[in-house]
A and B are shown apart, each in its own frame.
Chain A
Amino acid sequence: MDSSNDEALDIIVTNVVATFRTRCHLNLRTIALEGTNVIYKPEVGKVLMKLRKPMITASIWSSGKIICTGATSEDEAKLGARRLARCLQKLGFKVRFSAFKVVNVLAVCSMPFAVHLIDFTKNNRPIASYEPELHPAATYRIKNLKATIQVFSTGSLTVTGPNVQNVATAVEQVYPLLFECQKPLCK
């Protein structure tokens, strides 16, 4: 789907964050004592449960809200969330899997060229911002996609967005802009 050129850019999704609800109160102490692979954090009031198969870590609150992180795809996140809910159900809670929502997707991508960040920022004000003293990357926010892209001078990108589709679209959108500001050319 790279309309700009024929090469394919590898967008690697590194993290998918999702939330869901169990619609019932959860006794964290019971989960902590009986559950397997759990870390109890009473000071914060949550239990971390780690799953191996989809490698995910879930933060479980007593209200029944669960945040599931570490998955590498949206489907995996859902699968992991359901497994988790099943786990809690086995512990004895009347769990109802509801309100599953992927909240955040983090992906990395690498341009085959280096980018001149100052030019890139100049060309794309105010969408792009660059504060080298604060952070070595230029930040490009696409409002309609609600995606944020961080561009590094080496040409590496990290993209965060509400779902994988948005992320892919964001990369495509920003590619031509970056292409203009390639280091060997712009300099």
Chain B
Amino acid sequence: MGPKTKQKVPGMSRELTSLYLENQAIPVPLDLFQAKPKFGSKAERWVWRGFKSSARGDDDDLVLYHWAKASEQYSDYYYARYNARAEPCQYTDEEYNKCIEPLDKDWTRVETDYLLHLCQLLDLRFIVMHDRYYTHPDCPLASVVPDRTLEDIKDRYYVICRALTQFRSGEDSGDPDDLPLQATNKLADDLALLRFDKYKERERKQYLESLFTRSKDEIEEEEILIAEARRIEANERRLVHEREMLLQSHAMFEEAPSTATISTVNVQFAQASEPPQAPLAGEVVPKVRKGAPDAAADGTAAGGPRTPKKQKSAHGISASGVMSMPKVKAASASYRAQSATPAPLASAKMLSPGPSESSVRRSASPMRAGSVGMRLDHSDEPTQFGPVSFATEEHLVTAAVVQVDTPDVGTITVAQRDTRLGPGVFLRSDKLHPIPKSKLDSVKQFMNQLSLNSPNTIWPRPVMSTAAVCDRFDTLQATIIPLLEYKKTADKLETEVQVLRARKRMLVNSMGEAKAEQVLSELPPFDPSKVVMTRAVSPTGSETLALPPTPTSRHHRKGSTASATRKKT
């Protein structure tokens, strides 16, 4: 150990000490010396040997030399096994006459044989064959050298192969139409392999050529177009969605048939005309669906001697809207039934017509002796399907109903909002249209103002969520949202108008009243119809603020903030 190792710091190991203190010699193992490796066996003997390869052909005499182990004994050149050869088809004279001869009059027997010979010789390497066509020493004598393109040669070859395959498979089993399935499949596979379309090939090569010789400008142009197309595709979904939302919000109030929402178009606002104290003389509207047009006669239930309360105009709308619903046969007849004349008060007899189908929605008993002295009897209960008979249940109000053709039960009346459910159980109140979270509070407030919410709930829901109620609830919700939007818009626009007015006043004052009058009178008359709604309101609430780019707009913005601050103070 050297003198430095005497400095022992307690707690530190020897290595650490040596590292800590500098100028220490660091022992590093160096393998500078390598001993000569020891081999167990003696060295092999290698011999300079000549060899032949079968891949060169059987009658080839070329002898090549290489170093080989003395102990090696190869029957053939080691790599001759990798010599892959393509085997072109062969035909007999008979086959030629039968199936190949009739194919193409342009090719002589001699030329065809020559082609096949080349194929055999050159391993079906068509490009080489084409290059040596009729310049190969084996070529037949011909006064006129036929002018064949590469595609011609290929085409001829494949045509021959197809014909032969077809012919041979037909020969084997006699009748070509009688082949077993496996054989036909195999035949189809084989033929598929031999497909070659001369004209397509030529086109393809032309395309490649043009692609190769594009100029730089063209390449750039193409790239720009591709980027455009991709951008459009990416935005497509969003655009389509936006378009749909706009259509929805307008459709609801312009009474056009909308395809999206369940409850908007088809809500039937039939009324129970009587207040609760009086016996229920209101229209007890059965959910009896009548396919025939003369539903007015049947299906109407009790009314008062007085005319039923006014049918809302919405009713007319909904009928027409309903008509335009594709696929689903809407319960238009039942709507028409309500507009019919009222039935007598005394016995609220429900006439269930013979051929009508009753609703499956609830199963109530046929006789409901209500405590109000109302007789609801179903005189002829239709039992049209199966052993189970469904009685109708009367509600005082209806939801929108549709006819649904079920394969098992027949045609039944189902609430329209229920037609898009999947299998399973749901709570009806869960199936109300969801409101986006941002609007939840404002909608809830609004509903509370109208006192329509069920108390003690987090999200707005009706007090009694039946199908009819839920329909109307949905409509209401769907109406409130655009209303709130428009309210916001109106407020914004009106404040803007205030600001503009103030500005105008200011300008007029600075200019002088008379001069301002003069300037204004020189202007052409204002055309209100030309004003485009720059703020489109969609139910999603995205307002497109497109302020006209006037020089005053900057001032407006300043002015508006100024006025805002003034209001705050």
Q: Do A and B come from one complex?
A: no
- Using a CB–CB distance below 8 Å, which chain A residues touch chain B? none
